[in-house]
Chains A and B, each alone.
Chain A
Amino acid sequence: MSIIDPRKNYEETREEIGYVTRKEATLNDYKRIGFKSGLEVHQQLRTKSKLFCRCPAGIYHDDNDFDAEVIRHMRPTLSEMGVYDGTALMEFRTRKEITYRINNETACTYEVDDTPPFPVDREALEIAISIALAARMNIVGEVHITRKQYLDGSIPTGFQRSAIISVEGELQLKNKRVRLIQLSLEEDSCREVSDIGHKRIYKTDRLGMPLIETVTYPDCLTPDELAEAAEYIRFLNRSTGKVRTGMGAAREDVNVSCEGGSRAEIKGVAHIRWIPELSHNEAFRQYALLNIRSKLHKNIEDPAAWSAKTKEITEREQEFHFAPVRSALDRGDRVIALNLPGCRGILSHFTQPGRIFADEISDRLKVIACIEKPNMTHSEEIAGGNFNNLFPELAIWLSADAGDAQIILWGPGEDIPTAIETVEERIRLAFAGVPNETRKAFEDGTTMFERVLPGRDRMYPDTDSQPIAVTTEMLEKLGRNMPVDVAKRFLQMKEWNLPEDTWHYLLSKNLVVLVERISNDLGFDPREVGIMIGHRFRSLEGRGRVAAGFSYERLYDLFAFLKNEKLLAPVARILLPAAVAEASPDFKSILAGTGLHRATMNEIRDEAKNLAARFPEVCYNGNMAGMEEWMMGQLHMKALGTVRLSEVRNAVSELLEVRD
């Protein structure tokens, strides 16, 4: 029997589907595979309390900083429409024991589901409505709290309390519109501490903090559009000034599919800059799965009748005493060999950079059967080395055909039935193409299976809470303090002639409004102020020179101080390093410390004359053409703060003309 060369197969199949890296990819590549993508943007709101109890929001603890633990198991329940949700049943199969760590400072009996919810936090509700108004969505008349089931244990109730605030809206990006499906207000979930075998540990500090989820239609046709939409939503949320920032405060779920594929949801992407690579690879993964589907259909006549042949490897099968089997048996695990008819060339088929189809199986063994990796080996291991020598022997033992592939898996006895089911199920899903999954993101741009994608069947009305009316008066009141539209902010920055490299920073920190106020209230040029903040201040911030507790409002104070001192904007440049180094800077003494001289126009003119006279001494090569620039350079610092450079130049030019 010929041995397959898995590495070659991996490379060939990557060629076959026409995988290109993101750098190489062109618009045509995305058209070819039918890239389609949308977003679910989660944004924590800056409130004092959590959403359904009065625990403080925004306090985080270390993993081992807890006062007590509670253990729970999750069971699937019926939806309101009377059916079980697919994910729910899968999660139930995994039989996880969930431990919640409670710190008395941040969790009460509500977090561990021993007390029904208290009325929704009004502050959070109002912020959510404000953002819905800013996105110009259709706001509901009555907010209904809904339970969205999550059986992974990330919420001790087994569901997330969530409520729709608004539906339908539109974002205007540079070259396209992206439609919004809905915006909901919901409670945040637990943070995972660990997940090993059948035990998963969570901490409850973040649990219950209010966040909003903005969901778009899958309107983005390239990874870059997707990132742009994510940025836009981030700017929109931040424009209210009432959302949290920092690590984990904003998280994106990215929905991706390719033509003929299915929606896969990449969960909890912490950085927008990761989105393009992840969505790119996911679309190609789906494209690869479609290729696998057609190969399987070619190899296997009757997919409905397909099943794997299994045979247990016990101590007696001495011929298989190679490392993984040996150590598994020594641990007391059961070891199962499976023959997968018609799967030759499938296991080592390319799926993602550095990943093959066999990884999809191994990932599911970890998640569904709770068997830690390494949990299997197979006849098409790329890094398999000498293991591969064993598989021809195994194939004979399993009476396999040349077109088959083999897997050896191992795990605790009680997990083996689920494990075998899981392998068969994944192959059967491959006959259909792309399974609906939520996937976990990795920094290298690849993803792995996390859960079966839940459907609408997991929604259930929250029988513990009352609907909340959103009255017209409420909308009018909240509408009065609306932030300016993000699209308008872009236009505004363009009008100010601000360099584009300041835009992103100013929007993401919600500083455009500050520039506007400094300009409107104090009469400074918005371009000058924008550059001062968007370049100079940002650079100080980036280098960690800004004191903890320094509020952006101090920048306003700084310019107000300059106006008061009748100084020009450029002075800010020399004051900034000292000013931002303290939370409450004393501008007056900082200014004194610079030794700034308040030159008058007459002083500048006199100095210009002196300089002009000195130039021939300074200029060794006798080239008089450099005179004007040299004089400007000398006068620049002298004029700083009181005389505009344009006026200095005029004075110098005049002087030189007269001399000519």
Chain B
Amino acid sequence: MAEDFFQGYKGEALAVLKKFNVRVWGQADIETTRGLFKGTILPRSENNDDLHIVIKIETGYNIGIDIATIIRMTETGYNKANYKIPEKEFPYSDDKPNVKLFGTGGTIASRLDYRTGAVIPAFSPGELYGAVPELADVCNIRTEKLFAVFSENMGPDQYKILAKAIGDEISNGIDGIMIGHGTDTLHHTAAALSFMVQNSPVPIVLVGSQRSSDRPSSDAALNLIHASTAAGHGDIAEVMVCMFGPTSDEYGFLHRGTRVRKMHSSYRSTFRTIGDIPVATVKRGEVKPIQKIYNPRRTDRNVKIMPYFNENVTMIYFYPHMKADMIHSLIDNGYKGIIIVGTGLGHVNRELYPALERARRENVAVYMTLQTIWGYVHMFVYETGRDMMAKGVIPLGNMLPEVAWVKLGWALGQTDDLEEVKRIMLTPVNGEITEREPYNGYLVYQGGVPEVEEFIRRVHK
């Protein structure tokens, strides 16, 4: 492929570069009506306008030049940057557990993408070791890049590939699994793996970061250290999400893969266990279980891989005065399973009833979950609920909506028999429906109250 000398430039800006014969990474003197500017021409993000040229000036800063002001440009040199995380071979030691890190993309390790101006993931054991050398003190890590996709582009195909790859590693005797993942759908993948990889003898830890590793205050390194500790040394052989406990660099939480949810768009402490307490806390060198009951690490290799998924499953977020056509169109489009995210205790309006009846007639599985996130679906409390159950809508207890969507896809991937699907849905694999909600499972304190203020002054949130 011919080298692209004008990365990201288009339209008028591209024409100006061509006119003066100046390339990206070329050093240039640019005479403008606003004075003389000197620097290295940088690629331009494709989504930015075509009216400016970006240069890096001597002091290391980037600036843009308005092409309308350019009188003349002269290329005086050429210096292409080579962005690379220093690669160092990951050291191996016999006395450390072996952990496999699967890469899916995301911001665990990343670098700048000049095309979009955003960060793109970079990933290899060498790069990882170069960036977080402390990992070598925790375990022996081998890595495998399964895909390089952003979190929002993960889906059923990736879940299945991951599950099989995990199964293979477990058969081969690995001591723990880590999965690097973008955070947006980290909990969807955690739920999928909870169902697809059952009875694992070793910890399976999903980890991401809320601040990319190109930032000094990134949470990536500490999350990786925590996750590798949990995977290599921890006793909890479940599918878990490992992310910051408080937003401070203090400790991480291990969340059960079926009960965890991303609760803030940008906080480091965004992942929370919903309706229960996390399985454990993790610090450098130490996993401290806080749940009394969990699946402990075993030496056997009796893992059960169930890589099934029916993609004709959807989720619909109810709003007042929703029309029946919303459901009809789903059925028309061939969906076999619908998760409703209902109001309050699990309700939708009467206008949907005919469509729900049709769903039942046409063998479409319909399940009810909650917009309130916390709490149980209680469809016996009000008449509406009873009406809906009569129309075949099945309450899912305190299963989280996203988890319900994953589980329904997984269940329908195994069978078309809706009775069997119901049995699968209502039989918890690992805590997706719990029998009880402990008092401390719902903690959303509000600021401004003296005792809360006193608390957050002392305890890092």
Contacts and interface: CB of A to CB of B under 8 A. Distances in A.
A485 to B, nearest CB: 17
Interface in B404-461: 447, 453, 456-457, 460-461
19 contacts: A71-B460, A74-B217, A76-B216, A77-B216, A113-B211, A113-B215, A116-B266, A138-B35, A139-B35, A143-B63, A144-B62, A146-B62, A156-B217, A463-B212, A467-B52, A467-B54, A467-B64, A470-B66, A472-B69
The 4 A-B pairs at the shortest CB distance, nearest first, are namely A142-B64, A158-B216, A138-B35, A141-B66
A88 interface: yes
B51 A469 contact: yes
Interface in B58-91: 58-69, 81-86
A280 B214 CA distance: 39
Contacts of B447: 104
A140 to B, nearest CB: 4
Contacts of A163: 61
B402 to A, nearest CB: 23
Given A138-B34, A144-B61, A159 B216 contact: yes
A162 B61 contact: yes
Nearest to B210: A114
Contacts of A228: none
Contacts of B61: 144, 146, 162-164, 182, 184, 459
Interface stretch (A78-86, A203-211, A323-331): A78-86
A453 interface: no
B189 interface: no
Nearest to B216: A158
Interface in A108-160: 109, 112-116, 137-144, 146-147, 149, 151, 156-159
Contacts of B143: none
Nearest to A156: B217
Interface stretch (A61-69, A440-448, A571-579): A61-69
A76 B266 CA distance: 22
B312 interface: no
Contacts of B268: 114
Contacts of B247: 70, 112, 114
B279 to A, nearest CB: 23
B213 interface: yes
Contact of B37 (A69, A138, A158, A471): A138
Given A67-B457, A141-B66, A168-B36, A157 B216 contact: yes
B51 A461 contact: no
A651 interface: no
Q: Which of B34, B35, B60 has the most CB of A within 10 A?
A: B60
A457 interface: yes
B247 to A, nearest CB: 6
Interface string A286-320: 00000000000000000000000000000000000
Given A71-B460, A138-B35, A141-B34, A460 B214 contact: yes
Nearest to B83: A82
A558 B106 CA distance: 66
Contacts of B58: 456
Q: Which of B34, B111, B112 has the most CB of A within 10 A?
A: B34
Nearest to B82: A82
A181 B213 contact: no
Q: Which of A69, A109, A184 has the most CB of B within 10 A?
A: A69
B373 interface: no
A151 B61 CA distance: 18
A182 B59 contact: yes
B64 A141 contact: yes
Given A116-B266, A167-B37, A455-B60, 14 more contacts: A67-B457, A70-B246, A70-B460, A72-B217, A82-B84, A113-B211, A138-B37, A140-B34, A140-B64, A141-B52, A163-B61, A457-B60, A460-B214, A467-B64
A461 B43 CA distance: 12
B118 A142 contact: no
B196 to A, nearest CB: 33
Given A81-B81, A109-B266, A463 B117 contact: yes
A114 B267 CA distance: 5
A109 B212 CA distance: 17
Given A115-B266, A149-B216, A71 B250 contact: yes
A478 to B, nearest CB: 13
B363 interface: no
A77 B250 contact: no
Interface string B30-66: 0010111100000000001101101011111111111
A138 B65 contact: no
A316 to B, nearest CB: 32
Contact of A77 (B84, B218, B267): B218
Given A167-B37, A469-B52, A469-B66, A75 B266 contact: no
B83 A78 contact: yes
Q: What is the size category of the interface that chain A forms with chain B?
A: 35 or more
B460 A151 contact: no
A458 interface: yes
A69 B266 contact: no
A73 interface: yes
Contacts of A460: 112, 214
B233 to A, nearest CB: 22
Contact of B215 (A80, A140, A159, A471): A159
B119 interface: yes
Main secondary structure of the interface of B (DSSP, over half): loop
A467 B215 contact: no
B52 A142 contact: yes
Contacts of B83: 78, 80-82
B41 to A, nearest CB: 13
Nearest to A104: B447
A74 B216 CA distance: 5
A337 to B, nearest CB: 30
Nearest to A138: B35
A389 interface: no
A172 interface: no
A77 B457 CA distance: 31
Contacts of B235: none
A158 B217 contact: yes
B231 interface: no
Contacts of B35: 137-139, 167-168
Nearest to A140: B63
A466 interface: yes
Interface in A498-517: none
B216 A67 contact: no
Contacts of B64: 140-144, 467, 469
Interface string B230-254: 0000000000000000111110000
A470 B33 CA distance: 13
A20 B34 CA distance: 45
B338 interface: no
A77 to B, nearest CB: 5
Q: Which of B67, B212, B247 has the most CB of A within 10 A?
A: B247
Q: Which of A88, A159, A167 has the most CB of B within 10 A?
A: A167
A139 B34 contact: yes
B43 to A, nearest CB: 11
Nearest to A146: B61
A142 B37 CA distance: 13
Contact of B59 (A69, A84, A144, A456): A456
A462 B105 CA distance: 21
B218 A75 contact: yes
B48 A158 contact: no
A140 B54 CA distance: 10
Contacts of A75: 216-218, 221
Contacts of A138: 32, 34-37
Contact of A459 (B32, B60, B84): B60
A458 B215 CA distance: 11
B453 A67 contact: yes
A68 B461 contact: yes
Interface string A223-244: 0000000000000000000000
B266 A158 contact: no
A542 to B, nearest CB: 40
